[in-house]
């Protein structure tokens, strides 16, 4: 009887483990795919199984890979759309982006040869840019974590894991950058999705109330949206 009770208790105590922290056993590719899948389907379990003390390199590498993969897939989609869509439709989609300047290349209109090779030049530039994206992309979660951890200090919120816990949550929230592959709405979905994952991570790792974590995580995206709208309005007034 006792042995049966012990085994039942052991099964009940089994917790979900962050797959990325098992990359040495699973392999990096398999661990990354499993981690992104769990992050997308059950972010609460993902962050609940994340160990803050597991090291700095793991979250840093995850953020770099997720952001680089998102940039690469977004670039591929843009190239495919440029090759398949009529010019007017592609230009309309390009101008509907909320963040960033519309991409455009002047001087090639009406030159069939240049128009044909331009997407392949774009693919080469995309591949060449990936190492730089991978190296500098971890700055994004670092800046976001620094801003939000300052808010935690100002609002006297729970921060049992210190800055490291906030930074780990920000690094894994970068998994939302894969949403940039969606045309038109991708940039908005990245901001909203990363803020949502960040809030779940803060709640699970730092022990902050879910409502307060969501409110704090939404401040920076709100500022970004206001800045983008202000830029659009200023551009409209100059036109």
pLDDT in tens, 169-202: 999 999 999 999 998 888 889 999 999 999 999 9
CB neighbour list of residue 123: distance below 8 Å, 6 or more residues apart:
75, 76, 79
Domain ranges of the chain: 19-238
Q: Copy the structure tokens of residue 39.
A: 């992050």
pLDDT surpasses 60 at 2: no
State the residue for tokens 């902050």: 208
* Tens-place pLDDT, residues 5-18: 444 443 444 467 89
Distance (Å, whole) CA 182 – CA 154: 36
pLDDT surpasses 90 at 83: no
- pLDDT on residue 82: 74
- Please name which of 46, 39, 42, 20 lies closest in space to residue 31, comparing C-alpha atoms: 20
């Amino acid at each position: 009887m006792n042995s049966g009770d012990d085994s039942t208790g052991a099964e009940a105590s089994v917790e979900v483990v962050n797959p990325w922290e098992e990359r040495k056993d699973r392999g990096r590719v398999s661990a990354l795919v499993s981690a992104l899948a769990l992050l997308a389907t059950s972010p609460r379990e993902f962050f609940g199984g994340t160990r803050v003390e597991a090291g700095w390199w793991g979250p840093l590498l995850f953020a770099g890979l997720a952001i680089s993969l998102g940039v690469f897939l977004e670039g591929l989609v843009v190239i495919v759309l440029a090759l398949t869509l009529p010019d007017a439709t592609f230009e309309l989609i390009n101008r509907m982006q909320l963040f960033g300047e519309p991409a455009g290349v002047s001087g090639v209109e009406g030159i069939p040869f240049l128009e044909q090779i331009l997407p392949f030049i774009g693919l080469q530039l995309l591949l060449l840019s990936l190492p730089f994206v991978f190296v500098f992309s971890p700055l994004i979660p670092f800046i976001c974590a620094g801003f939000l951890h300052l808010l935690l200090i100002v609002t006297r919120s729970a921060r049992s894991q210190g800055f490291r816990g906030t930074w780990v949550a920000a690094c894994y929230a970068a998994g939302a950058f894969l949403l940039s592959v969606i045309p038109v709405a991708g940039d908005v979905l990245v901001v909203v999705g990363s803020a949502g994952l960040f809030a779940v991570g803060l709640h699970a790792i730092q022990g902050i109330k879910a409502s307060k974590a969501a409110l704090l995580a939404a401040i920076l995206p709100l500022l970004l949206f206001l800045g983008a709208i202000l830029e659009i309005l200023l551009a409209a007034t100059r036109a």
